[in-house]
Amino acid sequence: MKTIKLLSVVAIASFMLLSFVDQDKWIVPAKDKAMKNTVENNKENLAEGKTLYNLHCKSCHGTKGLGDGTKAKGLKGDLGDFSSAAFQAQTDGELFYKTKKGREDMPSYAKKMTDEEIWMTVHFMRTLKK
């Protein structure tokens, strides 16, 4: 009987831990994931994307997108590493969606930036590769 109780406790604890892991996943709806960047990737738009990144993103995500900005220590969760292969493997639509919508400590930029400005920022995020 003790074995059954122990196994039950272990099973419940495992289930609870797995549910927390799933909550941390940032699921982007398929239609948003498939969105294409509507802004041309040229020198001017890239420069504007960098300016916007420095204004809105750098304080948390850091100059190189390593999640080491001046505000990072006061935030919960993983700020990500924009230079990582996993980050760079995301679609432009995923980056746009996450920037526009936000969640938890990541604010929504829907009212702070136009769609065009977010797309320019996505272009700049692509330059932060290792």
Model confidence over 41-81: pLDDT tens digits?
999 999 999 999 999 999 999 999 999 999 999 888 788 89
- Residue 104's domain comprises 27-125
Which pLDDT value is given to residue 14? 45
- Note whether residue 12 is domain-resident: no
What pTM, to 2 d.p., does this model score?
0.80
Which pLDDT value is given to residue 18? 40
Write the CB contacts of 32 (distance below 8 Å, at least 6 apart in sequence): 93, 94, 96, 97
- Note whether residue 43 is domain-resident: yes
CATH number (domain holding residue 94): 1.10.760.10
- Note whether residue 81 is domain-resident: yes
- Note whether residue 82 is domain-resident: yes
77, 124, 83, 90: CA torsion to nearest 10:
70
- Note whether residue 70 is domain-resident: yes
Specify the number of domains making up the chain: 1
- Note whether residue 77 is domain-resident: yes
Mean pLDDT (the chain) is 87
- Note whether residue 58 is domain-resident: yes
- Note whether residue 1 is domain-resident: no
Write the CB contacts of 110 (distance below 8 Å, at least 6 apart in sequence): 100, 101
Which tokens is 27 given?
């699921």
Environment class of residue 118 by beta-carbon count within 10 Å: exposed (0-12), middle (13-18) or buried (19+)? buried
